[in-house]
Amino acid sequence: MTGTWHGLFVSDVIIKRKQNLIIIAGLINQMQQPTKVYFLKGYTEELLSHLLRRPIRIEVQTVSHPRDLYFKWI
């Protein structure tokens, strides 16, 4: 993910698993063009699905600025 999405993630990558489906989620910078984000999302889903032989879904949300992130560690 860090190689394909180089410098786009402003948060940690979150990996979830629901039965056979693997979900990868994270927050990206809003300054990217939507076409670039759609291409990277589709490319990464296809590549990881082929390598892991499991359905992969990538969920990204945009943030206007990295300082807008607030986390509470439990």
74 residues of the chain, pLDDT tens digit each: 778 888 888 888 899 999 999 999 998 888 888 899 999 999 999 999 999 999 999 999 988 877 777 766 77
| Phi and psi based region of residue 19 (left: phi greater than 0; alpha: psi -120 to 50; beta: remaining) | left
Q: What predicted TM-score, i.e. pTM, was given to this entire model?
A: 0.80
Using alpha carbons, list the distances in angstroms from residue 11 to 14, 28, 46, 60.
Answer: 9, 7, 23, 11
Topology at the third CATH level for domain 14-65:
Macrophage Migration Inhibitory Factor (3.30.429)
**Domain range list for the chain:** 14-65
